[in-house]
Structure 1
């Protein structure tokens, strides 16, 4: 499932390439035909990301709400202007021991930090037409607009940029009041809410819940944006047993979880990758940025030795989701 950093990156793509422009909207798949007909010909006016959901505003206070869910993704094609913050992510964002080095951009084989497709992993990517802002990001596409590939729920097309939505859990039109009601149900997002206020909201909820902390971190009403990967990594970095009831987690540990999430989310947005390991030398950092298996402490490492203590990493199901953790370090 795409996690919070991906949705914030998607919002940045829309801010630079769709907002302020009139769009042609269609639903090649047909499942959003009525909504697309309402959007067609309107101009996008602003975009918001909150946790795992994105809200794109159009003329006359009309909003498009998209929740990618497990399998959703946005594919971008055309002349894509890169967000300067994202463009500067050259393999050293968030690594204090890397600043001052001159490493080239690193793109992993799974395309997690791809500028042409953001969301659930895909085997095939839509080509990006070359422009001054996208040199080196892909091969030129000969056909414009690009042909529809697969089940596209919604296509938003400007004169220069195409955004195709596939496989979302939610794709619906909302009024401003409906958007406000949706956001009100979500927990704090470090990139949206005041950090101090968000921390207090998070701590107050967690500290009164008997629910295991491993479930609370995945509850979007408790905290926004955390998915399976960040859940496992945050708990390991805190040396915290996933089964500990929230109310039994010490106050300082809950606060440390929030502050670590603030840091990791920022790194994820800037690099496009869920980098959760610290203090890597330049070569180790290059490998970690290029390969998912080298950038996590416990996630996707079932049966492998813990990077700290050597104990085999455990894989179990918690509320029908895979949970990776170290039974020695996390006690």
Structure 2
């Protein structure tokens, strides 16, 4: 499933071709949404917003299209009249005079009046967006101390969108590794310095991933690995997907386990279980 950084980068690509443009045609694949095609066609897009893994396309008539990629959804941009080569099912098409923004394979799509978005069941329950410019590490540290979060294992907490919106499988493994926190520890088990380190990494890693297109390694390390490691997927992360390989920091073997039915990776030396 795409995580917050990937959705934000998709939003940037969509904004490049839609914002301040008139949408000549809006086409929905789902019958229950097709009535909104007339409501939105001819309107101008004023903003493309992300909230965690959700994307909102705002129109100047105060309506918005909500979409969530879930596991398989993907946005594609094309010149108007050109169809991308794909076997996926088209769910939503937004056409300007020159370009098209096309959403494939997603099933969670709806249309909302802007003033009613606060009643959307997913959006209403979201925690702060990891990529929000207003979010600071002290906010995350205080959130970790809240009673409803402090007693939960970090491996579960860092997939909970009520805690922080936009985190997912790879960010969870990478953040916990960089903070030196074992996945089974709980916020209440951490000292003040450990909480601060975890909060800082929680803020830093998603932003780095957004800026680099999905790489959580520091730029210098990522650049040096290009000389010795073939394949981009093998040099994106510290631990995620690297089970059986040596830790870049200590040389110990990266481990993989299944926690909460989702795979997670960690280093037994850098992230000791107390």
1:172 aligns with 2:105: no
Highest RCO, 1 vs 2 (Cα 8 Å, sep ≥ 6): 1
Segments of structure 2 that go 5 or more residues without pairing to the other structure are none
Distance in 2, matches of 1:168 and 1:181, equals 21
Query: 2:153, 2:186 within 8 Å by CA — same for their partners in 1?
Result: yes
1:198-213 matched pairs, under 5 angstroms:
198-205=139-146, 208-213=149-154
Query: 1:315, 1:325 within 8 Å by CA — same for their partners in 2?
Result: yes
Q: Which range moves more in the overlay, 174-183 or 227-236?
A: 174-183
Query: 2:176, 2:183 within 8 Å by CA — same for their partners in 1?
Result: yes
Distance 1:30 1:276, change over 3 A: farther
User: Which residue pairs with 2:134 in the alignment?
Assistant: 194
Distance 1:270 1:308, change over 3 A: closer
Q: Provide the TM-score with structure 2 as the length reference.
A: 0.85
1:1-331 matched pairs, under 5 angstroms:
1-23=1-23, 24-28=25-29, 32-78=33-79, 144-147=80-83, 149=86, 150-182=88-120, 183-192=123-132, 194-196=134-136, 198-205=139-146, 208-277=149-218, 279-280=220-221, 282-284=223-225, 291-331=232-272
Return the offset for 1:250.
2.4
Distance 1:160 1:178, change over 3 A: same
Distance 1:261 1:151, change over 3 A: same
Query: 1:188, 1:201 within 8 Å by CA — same for their partners in 2?
Result: no
Distance 1:287 1:224, change over 3 A: farther
Distance in 2, matches of 1:290 and 1:168, equals 29
Query: 1:275, 1:289 within 8 Å by CA — same for their partners in 2?
Result: no
Cα RMSD over matched residues? Answer: 2.7
Q: Say which SS state the counterpart of residue 16 (structure 2) adopts.
A: helix
Distance 1:234 1:289, change over 3 A: farther
Distance in 1, matches of 2:12 and 2:62, equals 20
Query: 2:68, 2:108 within 8 Å by CA — same for their partners in 1?
Result: yes
Distance in 2, matches of 1:326 and 1:258, equals 19
Segments of structure 1 that go 5 or more residues without pairing to the other structure are 79-143
- For residues 119-142 of structure 1, give each alpha carbon's deviation from its aligned partner in whole angstroms, at most 9, with x where no partner exists: xxxxxxxxxxxxxxxxxxxxxxxx
Distance in 2, matches of 1:47 and 1:19, equals 7
Give the 4+ runs in structure 1 shifted more than 4 A: 28-32, 285-290
